[in-house]
Amino acid sequence: MGKTFTEKVLGRKAGKDVVPGEIIEVEPDVAMSHDNTAAISKTFYNIGVDKVYNPEMHVIILDHCTPAANEKFAQNHKVIREFVKKQGIPNFYDIEVGICHQVMHEKGHVWPGALIVGSDSHTTSYGAFGAFSAGIGRSEMAVIMARGKIWLRVPETIRIWVEGEFPEGISSKDLMLKIAGEIGADGALYKAIEFCGPTIDRMSVASRFVLTNMAVEIGAKAGYMIPNAETLAYLRERVKTPFEIVESDPDAIYEAEYKFDVSDLEPMIAKPHTVDNVVPVSVVKGTKIDQVFFGSCTNARVEDFEVVSNVLRGKKVHPEVRMLVFPASAEVYLEVLKRGWITDLVEAGCVIMNPGCGPCMGNHEGVPANGEVTLATSNRNFRGRLGNKESFVYLVSPMTAAVSALTGRIEDFRDLNL
Amino acid sequence: MLIKGKVWKYGDDINTDVLFPGKYTYTVTDSKEMAKIALEDLDPEFAANVQKGDVIVGGANFGCGSSREQAASCLLYAGVGAVVAKTFARIFFRNCINFGLPALTSAEAVDALEHGESIEIDTEKGEIRCKAGVFSFPPLPEEVVGIFDAGGLIPYTKKQLGIE
């Protein structure tokens, strides 16, 4: 009987053949944590261990509230910097570098076949590079610091097959929202997802990332894709660790299979307050918006800036809309700066913010007022997500965010003469 | 373990942001303060009125969203004895085990239970007792039962490492 990608990676780590449902103890290749490392370090010391088991295993990236919004966040960052120094953790990225899930692959900490855990739910992202990656809790990260190991249940795998050519202006975000709407917020609960098919094979690195990043929004433990040629070229420039691509066997067992054809996909939108509350944008067209949040680990990379700057160049953001722009990383920022797109966006009336998570979890940099509507390129629209439970968040693609910023209302870009 | 209290019942997809808002994750760290903001964006009555041993009942996908373990620990600090749901989101479920908070799965019990009614849970027998009758729930996998029995992941790890 064939094995899935997940069974192979976890089996290799466990040193035996594994089957779905089995619980194993494994040593991850990489363990990522962010601003929550202060709390993790406290728990780590509470265990009663002085030295981190393997400092090389850990990657620590500050992004969730950068720069610190007040003295409590500042204190939090200070604790982390001191911990990193004391423990000799070599892979530390301070506030100037970017969002953790972007920095992880930019700096070569992600590779095909790797087992990666992170104390952040969007750790599923790295499956776009052929890694097995899953989110864990803070205490679990503290225990990995203490003894290098974690228990994992071997998940069943769901296969999502995608075919067809995207219509002009439709992106992987529209596809992901469509998938979330159809499969539901718990449609892949505890499961590993394999995204495959000709459309996935043709996608850019950034577009593929959107799908694995949001795999957790439908409950998945991990998302995975076979790295395509563009992905491998990207990784070869960055990864120092030797790696081998791990793929599912042709006769591997899948618990469920879904098929999507993107040929006639429309722009999609997730309405408040759940990610699976999805309709075509045309259904809510005309809804007044107050703020656009163009950022997050989901959609703030170079290709997203290309779409947004192409829409906004030479035009003006609606006077009653605040458009906040957060490049996913300093690397992305520099590239879009060189291409002149930051100039386009500033001239259009956007506010350019620092690379980081911004308001995505409600800490700072764009918390909405009561009753306000935010159109976000991010991944979650739970009540209170941006820091105010009396506000409303809709999730969209960068294209839909940009065209709606112009009119101050939710727009279907196909209706506008761009 | 015998848990006795009243039911606080909510719906499907109760997410970590309404259990413990993201804006507090790096700033509210004291357990008493954490207890006060439990369920803040879901039910403003909860934190002020919850009693020790009360049980939260939710539908499908309870605890979806963030990996923040305060979504589980704030319930424990508020006195919650257990969470019963139709299904749990994965990381939330792990966090419950890691804090020794019983997270029990029983769709039948969830359908039968009403907000405010009395409930009794016997974790050894695997029974939920309430007005509608007795419902069973599956035990934890044996590989992780030790973590729960030790009172959570940190005491369990101390024991493993021989630290008192």
For the segment A158-177, what is each residue's pLDDT rounded down to a tens digit?
A: 999 999 999 999 999 999 99
Query: Is 80 exceeded by the pLDDT of residue A417?
Result: no
Global ipTM: 0.96
DSSP string, A34-73: -TTHHHHHHHHHHHT--S-S-GGGEEEE--TT-S-SSHHH
Contact B21 A47 (CB under 8 A): no
| Dihedral of alpha carbons A38, A40, A45, A50, sign | negative
Nearest residue of chain A to residue B59 (CA atoms): A186
Could you give the percent of chain B with pLDDT greater than 70? 100
Domains of chain A: 7-260 (3.30.499.10), 270-412 (3.30.499.10)
Distance from CA of B155 to the nearest CA of A (A): 8
**Which residues 290-349 on chain A approach chain B with CB closer than 8 angstroms?**
none
- pLDDT at res. A414: 97
- pLDDT at res. B40: 94
Distance from CA of A350 to the nearest CA of B (A): 25
Of A48, A143, A189, which has the smallest distance from its Cβ to B89's Cβ?
A189
Query: Is 80 exceeded by the pLDDT of residue A250?
Result: yes
Of B22, B153, B160, which has the smallest distance from its Cβ to A385's Cβ?
B22
Q: Would an 8 Å CB–CB cutoff place A79 in contact with chain B?
A: no
Q: Would an 8 Å CB–CB cutoff place A279 in contact with chain B?
A: no
Taking the C-alpha atoms of residue A63 and residue B63, their distance in angstroms, rounded to an integer, is 23
- Lowest-pLDDT range of A16-25, A409-418, B44-53: A409-418
Strand order in the sheet with B127-130: B103-105, B82-85, B55-58, B2-9, B118-122, B127-130, B133-136
- Residue A162 neighbours by CB distance under 10 Å: 24
Of B23, B90, B160, which has the smallest distance from its Cβ to A189's Cβ?
B90
Contact B87 A189 (CB under 8 A): yes
Distance from CA of B68 to the nearest CA of A (A): 6
Could you give the percent of chain A with pLDDT greater than 70? 100
What is the residue extent of each domain of chain B? 2-139
**For the segment A346-364, what is each residue's pLDDT rounded down to a tens digit?**
999 999 999 999 999 999 9
pLDDT band at A418 (very low <50, low <70, confident <90, very high): confident
Taking the C-alpha atoms of residue A186 and residue B29, their distance in angstroms, rounded to an integer, is 30
Contact A137 B91 (CB under 8 A): yes
> Is the bond preceding residue A273 a cis peptide, omega within 30 degrees?
yes
Query: Is 90 exceeded by the pLDDT of residue A206?
Result: yes
| Amino acid residing at B20 | F
Distance from CA of A189 to the nearest CA of B (A): 7
Is the CATH code 3.20.19.10 the one for domain B2-139?
yes
- pLDDT at res. B164: 76
Nearest residue of chain A to residue B147 (CA atoms): A151
Taking the C-alpha atoms of residue B54 and residue A212, their distance in angstroms, rounded to an integer, is 37
Q: Which residues are B3's β-sheet partners?
A: B121
Contact between residue B41 and residue B83 where contact means Cβ atoms under 8 Å apart: no
Q: Which of B61, B62, B95 is the best mutation test for A, with the most CBs of A within 10 A?
A: B61
- pLDDT at res. A413: 98
How do beta strands A150-153 and A157-163 pair? unpaired
- pLDDT at res. B135: 98
Query: Is 90 exceeded by the pLDDT of residue A1?
Result: no
- pLDDT at res. B55: 98
Average pLDDT, chain A: 98
Say how many CB pairs under 8 Å bridge A and B: 135
**For the segment B97-149, what is each residue's pLDDT rounded down to a tens digit?**
999 999 999 999 999 999 999 999 999 999 999 999 999 999 999 989 999 99
Contact B163 A48 (CB under 8 A): yes
Nearest residue of chain B to residue A35 (CA atoms): B26
Contact between residue A174 and residue A267 where contact means Cβ atoms under 8 Å apart: yes
How do beta strands A23-26 and A150-153 pair? antiparallel
**For the segment A258-309, what is each residue's pLDDT rounded down to a tens digit?**
999 999 999 999 999 999 999 999 999 999 999 999 999 999 999 999 999 9
Q: Would an 8 Å CB–CB cutoff place A383 in contact with chain B?
A: yes
